[in-house]
Chain A
Amino acid sequence: MSLPRSESDPRMTIRADLVAAGRRRVAKRQRRRSAALATIAVAGVLGTAGAAAKIEGSSTGVPVLDRVLEISAERHPPAPSRSRDGEIVGPPPFDVRPGPSGASPPVELPWGTDGSAGTGIGVAYLNRSGHLCFVVVGPERRADRGGLGCTMERIVRDWLATAPAAVTTAGGAGRDLSAVNGFARADVVALRYEAPDGPVDAILGEPWRPGGASAKPIRPFVALFELETDRLDPRSLMRAISNGNLTATLDDGRVVEVRRGR
């Protein structure tokens, strides 16, 4: 193909506009790479937040993630609901510490949509108040910018009884980088998440038995995707992220779509 070299050829004008737009995107992405992980929002099913400020007697197995949990506990000290006469009512205080069954094998997370921004790390664990949690740090491994999301285990088990995978938490993971995480049944071998701008492959952790050897194995997963946050208002954005469908490939070759309302 030969295009005329004239400035007045509309095709050349559009080409110049596209390349300029591409350059702006590259510059924006380079600025974004220095942005750190923002706290992943905890799903609405979470009870009262808070725990002892020190993580004692239990560990995620990854020191920087233990530090994320300590910081989370410091920022959200235990606050059980009490009646006027001081009696504790409502759910027991949320205990962020991993329970005796420990944590899942660490999940390495190629950061950004192509992994070019380094590797984050996360683990899942069952905490001491019956929540399945996922704690994560970005490639800079800064504990003060880590994320934590928890959902009651029985609710996750209910979801997985009817679908091969479920998103439990969603939120920002840096400027224009968003994340959803959740859990899949152990027979899921691949998972795609339909982000607002298109599908992305989720990163699946190894099968793991929260609560001990007798528990059914599950796999934590994380999907990271870019989203230009000026596109929607924040509420619509969160709704779009939370409602993204999942497509699970099972170990027998079946492909199951989990429709989530979008």
Chain B
Amino acid sequence: MRDLLRLTDDELLAATRDDPEAFGVFYSRHVDFVIAFLRQSTGDIETALDLTAEVFAAALVASRRYRAGEAPARAWLVGIARNKRADAHQRRGRERSMRERLGMPHREFSDAEMERVELSADASDGYADGLAELPPAQREAIEARVIEERDYAEIAADTGTSQATVRQRVSRGLTRLARTKEPRP
């Protein structure tokens, strides 16, 4: 039997088709990051947790289409998370959720359970607070470049700006983030 914990993300996603436990390992590896990312952008842990379940359900369905080497798996997850966040924001509920498609039950968690997740998300959320305080253009540029690892050209095309502008936003944002992490007198 394979030791799934030793597999790379790409290998786990490839193995998911025949071995769902591989997806479980992939989930465990990234769930806190996704929760932190969604909590930072939605503002509350309950919504973030709900969207996280939806993100991984979508990732499970889409895992067979994941192409190793095109982008890191975490960037792929962030792309799904952004789409789910946008869907939730625009209340696009015409199609059934991915969890429904998969026959997953709808879960409601107690405040105590969510607090536990929030504490854990806080611990893995090093970038979130500082990022939230950045101007939106800088925050989006950093998310796209640093977290999602997208090309400057692609980000520039998406945002209708030049590559130079995107580089400048990333650079200034990172500088500002670094300053917020410096010890204060």
Contact = CB atoms under 8 A, between A and B. Distances in A.
Contacts of A26: 17-20
Contact of B117 (A11, A23, A29): A11
A197 B61 CA distance: 9
A257 to B, nearest CB: 15
A192 to B, nearest CB: 11
A18 B24 contact: yes
A10 interface: yes
Interface string B41-75: 00000000100110011001110110000000000
Interface of A: 1, 3-4, 8-11, 13-15, 17-26, 29, 113-114, 116, 197-200, 226, 228, 231
Given A17-B107, A22-B23, A198-B62, A10 B49 contact: yes
B113 A24 contact: no
A137 to B, nearest CB: 24
A231 B104 CA distance: 15
B64 A114 contact: yes
Contacts, number: 100
A238 B61 CA distance: 21
A10 B113 contact: yes
- The secondary-structure label for the interface of chain B is helix
A10 B56 CA distance: 14
A116 B64 CA distance: 12
29 contacts: A4-B116, A9-B113, A10-B49, A10-B109, A10-B114, A10-B116, A11-B31, A11-B32, A11-B35, A14-B49, A15-B24, A15-B27, A17-B53, A18-B23, A18-B27, A19-B21, A21-B103, A21-B104, A22-B16, A22-B20, A22-B23, A22-B24, A25-B102, A113-B65, A197-B62, A198-B62, A198-B65, A226-B64, A228-B101
B96 interface: yes
**Complex A-B, nearest 4 residue pairs according to Cβ-Cβ distance, in ascending order:** A22-B20, A21-B102, A19-B24, A10-B109
A24 B23 contact: no
Contact of A17 (B62, B104, B110): B104
A114 B17 contact: yes
Interface of B: 16-21, 23-24, 27-29, 31-32, 35, 49, 52-53, 56-57, 60-62, 64-65, 95-96, 99, 101-105, 107, 109-110, 113-114, 116-117, 120, 124
Most buried by B among A1, A11, A231: A11
Nearest to B17: A114
B156 to A, nearest CB: 19
Given A9-B117, A21-B103, A14 B52 contact: yes
Contacts of B28: 1, 3, 11, 15
A27 to B, nearest CB: 10
A15 B31 contact: yes
A247 to B, nearest CB: 14
B101 A9 contact: no
Given A9-B116, A15-B31, A20-B20, 8 more contacts: A8-B116, A10-B116, A14-B107, A15-B28, A21-B57, A197-B65, A198-B62, A228-B101
A29 B105 CA distance: 21
Contacts of A19: 20-21, 23-24
A42 to B, nearest CB: 29
A200 B102 CA distance: 21
Nearest to B112: A8
Contacts of A10: 49, 107, 109, 113-114, 116-117
A17 B52 CA distance: 13
B29 A1 contact: yes
Nearest to A23: B20
A26 to B, nearest CB: 6
A114 B16 CA distance: 12
A231 B102 CA distance: 11
A17 B20 contact: no
Nearest to A17: B104
